[in-house]
Amino acid sequence: MTDLAPFIAGLPKAELHLHIEGSLEPELMFELAQRNQVAIPYASVEEVRAAYAFSNLQDFLDIYYAGADVLRTRADFHDLAMAYFVRAAADGVIHAEIMFDPQTHTDRGIAFADVIEGLLSAMSMAEAELGLTSSLILSFLRHLSEEAAFATLEAAQPWIDRIAAVGLDSSEVGHPPEKFARVFAAARAQGLKITAHAGEEGPPEYVHQALDLLQTDRIDHGNRALEDPALVARLAAEGMTLTVCPLSNLKLCVVDDLVDHPLDRMLALGLKATVNSDDPAYFGGYVAENYRAVAEARGLTRNDLVTLARNSFTGSFLPPEAVAANLAKLEAYAAM
């Protein structure tokens, strides 16, 4: 088999499913712990990496929320995001739609302003210095209450024009989309796009609810939709983008082995799948490594890879002119 890694690294692509807190590398975690005088329960970077063995989503979330405790200042959020943008640009990402979890920080006494202003300053710098455009997805933590989600939407109001979408993440099972129908309706009324994690660990019913009750523009993950043929047909007919995360699925035991990953089955069923890294510092690879690993495990062709990158642009929340400009870059690359 030819080595697809160079082709993948140069392939213009968008990343649509990335939690910025999940891009906190152990090295930066240590640096910020020292800068902010925060104690962390690890003696070395190696010890941190050794702790990243998960048997399900909750296992991971417990460690991920603990790691985020080192993030304290506007400069920390700037440095976190800038480190991600540098890695993403090296992976051929020309547009990124990054999720952030304000409640993880505001519940620790960090000002919403410090979180978002740090991210926004890195986003401006990434565009100026790396030519990488980006937008923000404010994600509500679904293990918390509807009331807390409303308070977060309220706190976001001064920056609402700088936020592209709202999302729904954290512990899925037991926290169905219906719990947040009203806050998503309020966000939609403000012109925000809608996405939600659904069908990662939760049943196909949660994907139905995300579509019907949240009126999503995208579904994050969506793996378990494959258990419901009528749902698959609906997702295909609606052209609903799925933001699939192969290495995350492997690390969180959504699949036992990448050779069993359903990505190409999704494409064959007419689903608009994309490839993303989710929480790259925790799952062992940024977006290009996700493309490469799943391509190798599933025998994907160059055409498949171009289809996945095309889906990443058409599934983005960019305006049509920007989508067209990014697609033109992709088609020029694919024709080389």
Query: Which sequence positions are flagged as catalytic?
Result: 200
Residue 97 binds ligand ADE (CB under 6 A): no
Handedness of CA 142, 282, 127, 273 (dihedral sign): negative
Q: Are 94 and 13 in contact (CB under 8 A)?
A: yes
Shortest separation between residue 173's beta carbon and ligand ADE, angstroms: 11
Window of 116-124, 276-284, 312-320, 322-330 that interacts with Zn ion by CB under 5 A: 276-284
Q: How many binding residues for Zn ion (CB under 5 A)? A: 1
Q: Are 275 and 286 in contact (CB under 8 A)?
A: no
Handedness of CA 310, 311, 316, 319 (dihedral sign): positive
Which residues are CB-neighbours of 149 under 8 A, at least 6 positions away?
Answer: 140, 141, 180, 183
Shortest separation between residue 167's beta carbon and ligand ADE, angstroms: 9
Shortest separation between residue 184's beta carbon and ligand ADE, angstroms: 16
Residue 278 binds Zn ion (CB under 5 A): yes
Cα separations (Å) of 318 from 96, 121, 312? 10, 19, 11
Nearer to ligand ADE, 97 or 200 (CB): 200
Shortest separation between residue 158's beta carbon and ligand ADE, angstroms: 25
Residue 91 binds ligand ADE (CB under 6 A): no
Q: How many binding residues for ligand ADE (CB under 6 A)? A: 10
Cα separations (Å) of 3 from 19, 142, 146, 299? 29, 41, 48, 11
Residue 22 binds ligand ADE (CB under 6 A): yes
Nearer to Zn ion, 283 or 291 (CB): 283
Shortest separation between residue 58's beta carbon and Zn ion, angstroms: 14
Binding marks (x or -) toward ligand ADE, 156..185, rule CB under 6 A?
-------------xx---------------
Using only the alpha carbons of the chain, give its radius of gyration. 19
Shortest separation between residue 248's beta carbon and ligand ADE, angstroms: 5
76 binds, among Zn ion, ligand ADE, none (CB under 5 to 8 A by kind): none
Tell me which DSSP letter residue 14 carries: E
Q: Which of positions 181-210 make contact with ligand ADE (CB under 6 A)?
A: 197, 200
Q: Can you read off the two tokens belonging to residue 213?
A: 């009750």
200 binds, among ligand ADE, Zn ion, none (CB under 5 to 8 A by kind): ligand ADE
Q: Are strands 13-19 and 193-198 parallel, antiparallel or unpaired?
A: unpaired
Q: Are 79 and 117 in contact (CB under 8 A)?
A: no
Which residues are CB-neighbours of 86 under 8 A, at least 6 positions away?
Answer: 130
Report which secondary-structure segment, H or E, holds 221: strand 218-221
Residue 279 binds ligand ADE (CB under 6 A): yes
Q: Which of positions 241-270 make contact with ligand ADE (CB under 6 A)?
A: 248
Nearer to ligand ADE, 11 or 196 (CB): 196
Which residues are CB-neighbours of 252 under 8 A, at least 6 positions away?
Answer: 54, 56, 57, 59, 60, 200, 201, 283
Nearer to ligand ADE, 82 or 141 (CB): 141
201 binds, among Zn ion, ligand ADE, none (CB under 5 to 8 A by kind): none
Residue ranges that bind ligand ADE, judged by CB under 6 A: 19, 22, 57, 169-170, 197, 200, 248, 278-279
Residue ranges that bind Zn ion, judged by CB under 5 A: 278
